[in-house]
Amino acid sequence: PEEAMHRRPQEAPPLERGAPESLWRRGPRPPRSPAPAAAAARSEPSTSSLPPPLENAAFEEYYKEQRIVHEEEWDAFMSVLRKPLPATFRVNASCRFLKDICSRLENDFRRSLENEVSDECGEYALSPLPWYPGNLAWHLNLSRKQLRKNPALESFHEFLKHESEVGNVTRQEAVSMVPPLFLNVQAGHHILDMCAAPGSKTFQLLEMIHQSKEPGLLPTALVIANDLKVQRCDVLIHNTKRMCTANLIVTNHEAQSFPSCSLAKDDSEAYKDHCKPQRLEFDRVLCDVPCSGDGTLRKSHDLWRKWSSSMGNEFHLLQVNIAMRGIALLKVGGRMVYSTCSMNPVENEAVVAELLRRSGSSVELLDVSTELRELVRRPGLGTWKVNDRGSWFQTHEDVPDSRKNVILPSMFPSSTSIHESHKVYNSFDVNSEYNVPFSRNFNIEDTNNVNCDTGGISSSNSAQSLDSKFPLHRCMRIVPHDQDGGAFFIAVIHKLSLLNENQVIKVRKTENLLSKNRTVKLQEQN
Ligand SMILES: C[S@@+](CC[C@H](N)C(=O)[O-])C[C@H]1O[C@@H](n2cnc3c(N)ncnc32)[C@H](O)[C@@H]1O
């Protein structure tokens, strides 16, 4: 499924989760299916030329059950998911022509498109995204019909095409711009982008380190951008080349076993007998993991047909392992952002809870409610369920033995895994350390009855004991109908002290023991 979710064509322009093609490319599309006449001649129905239906009953059942949004919002949520995404782009904050580009956008294009109001939502055709610092990110909200008839758009289109080619502008989905912003990158930082291809967030990180340099000096910062797939590393290199940077290294590893690197002033020093090379630790880690990708449904039309609840379950452990490696490589005092373009709590809150469980008091989940205040986001969920082959489970104990090695304790919000963790981490008191005030920018009144951590107030139909004890409301879920975009999940983790390797190993041992016991039981049953 990862392949399915994240395949991006090599020839695609340098953008991730891009804008609808119609908004950026002119001219007729190449035919994608046999002409209807040819199909008719073979007596076949020409269904392949029809757009895929934007329906999936299992998807609706799943997210209704998870109470991802308020019941009354359901129709708005689904209706926005079926609409094309507005095109969005970002001006390169470190480019030489920043002032000129901003002025053209503000004074030329915005004005010439002023009278052009989006057909459907009545918004201005071209406007900056209010939450992006410095008015550097913009969205274009026009229907195809409007695009065709407006001559001002021709020159705007040419402008965007040219500025994108030279690296002054990057087309990128709005929600995908969010995770790097929460990294709070500073001059001189060492940054690891663990799952980086096709590189739109890497590009953003590069902009940040080049922007914060002293005039006339090259930045001392470093970005290591990693991806598992070599072909996708090619796309990453192609896309980041536009930045003309000397501060980027692209690597090709499994992120979950990303190697420890050494720093040395020069080779001779590194190889001196008594010289212990310094370990490279990262001030910032971006962990934008592979996921089921259902936050991209507005542009991934195929996904409507392919989506199933098992996709999220399949990614969960890989996501935990990648993020744990990220925490291990992070400097004490450093920040890691965990993000997915999925709405699924099993890939999101469950992963974050497991990171907190495994890392104990070495990390904290940051409350970033005062950062990017204009960005509308919802608090992470405090409780959720796990679906396996059509059955719903609230605790791991409810899962049939035959499935217990696929449906893991860490996928559940509470009970078993937390108690298990208590057994493993005697010194780690989840109740005292994580019982913190509720904070978010989404009005609590508006989320009444919505599945969210209510800061100690149990939601109406779930028992208190089934809620997570971690402050998962500090996570952020961006849903499509709040800002007419895609969906994204973001959590910001702060490292307080070195990981106790024993704790991590102990948890792994417990898991292995569990699955061994299961295997023995299964063998006995057979
Ligand atoms: C969500 S995409 C990343 C998008 C990227 N951060 C961006 O903004 O352009 C996830 C990426 O993870 C890569 N990937 C999958 N499994 C991986 C693994 N085990 N280690 C590292 N990368 C992996 C995929 O090839 C894919 O490019």
Residue corresponding to tokens 């093609």: 21
The residue nearest atom 2 of ligand 1, judged by CA position, is 290
| 90 membership: H or E segment, kind and range | strand 87-91
Nearest atom in ligand 1 to the alpha carbon of residue 2 is 15
Beta partners for 225? Answer: 193, 250
The residue nearest atom 1 of ligand 1, judged by CA position, is 290
pLDDT value, residue 238? 96
Q: Find out whether the beta carbon of 201 lies less than 6 Å from any atom of ligand 1.
A: yes
Phi and psi (nearest 5°) for 279?
-75, 135
R_g of the chain computed on alpha carbons? 24
* Distance of CA 375 from the midpoint of ligand 1 (Å): 25
| 278 membership: H or E segment, kind and range | strand 278-280
**Residue ranges covered by each domain of the chain:** 86-172, 176-520
Q: Find out whether the beta carbon of 228 lies less than 6 Å from any atom of ligand 1.
A: yes
| Intervals of the chain under pLDDT 50 | 1-45, 119, 121, 415-464, 506-507, 510-526
For the annotated catalytic residues, the residue numbers are: 341
What single letter denotes the amino acid at residue 101? Answer: I
Instruction: Give the alpha-carbon dihedral of 346, 490, 379, 432, to 10 degrees.
Output: 80
Q: Find out whether the beta carbon of 225 lies less than 6 Å from any atom of ligand 1.
A: no
Choice from 195, 284, 325 to test ligand 1 binding pocket (greatest atom count within 8 A of CB): 195
CATH number of the domain located at residue range(s) 176-520 in this protein: 3.40.50.150
Cα distance from N-terminal residue to C-terminal residue, the chain: 31
Beta partners for 490? Answer: 339, 476
Binding residues for S-adenosyl-L-methionine: 195-201, 227, 288
Q: Find out whether the beta carbon of 254 lies less than 6 Å from any atom of ligand 1.
A: yes
Residue corresponding to tokens 């209510």: 454
Question: Beta strands 363-365 and 330-340: pairing type?
Answer: unpaired
* Sign of the torsion angle spanned by Cα atoms 367, 343, 132, 192: positive
Is the bond leading into 14 cis (omega within 30 degrees of zero)?
no
* Distance of CA 424 from the midpoint of ligand 1 (Å): 32
Q: Find out whether the beta carbon of 197 lies less than 6 Å from any atom of ligand 1.
A: yes
Q: Which of 398, 489, 338 is nearest to 409 (CA)?
A: 398
Give strand ranges (E) for 292-384: 330-340, 363-365, 378-379
ipTM of the complex: 1.00
pLDDT value, residue 192? 98
pLDDT value, residue 465? 60
Binding residues: 195-201, 227, 288
Q: Which tokens hold the place of 277?
A: 């090379």
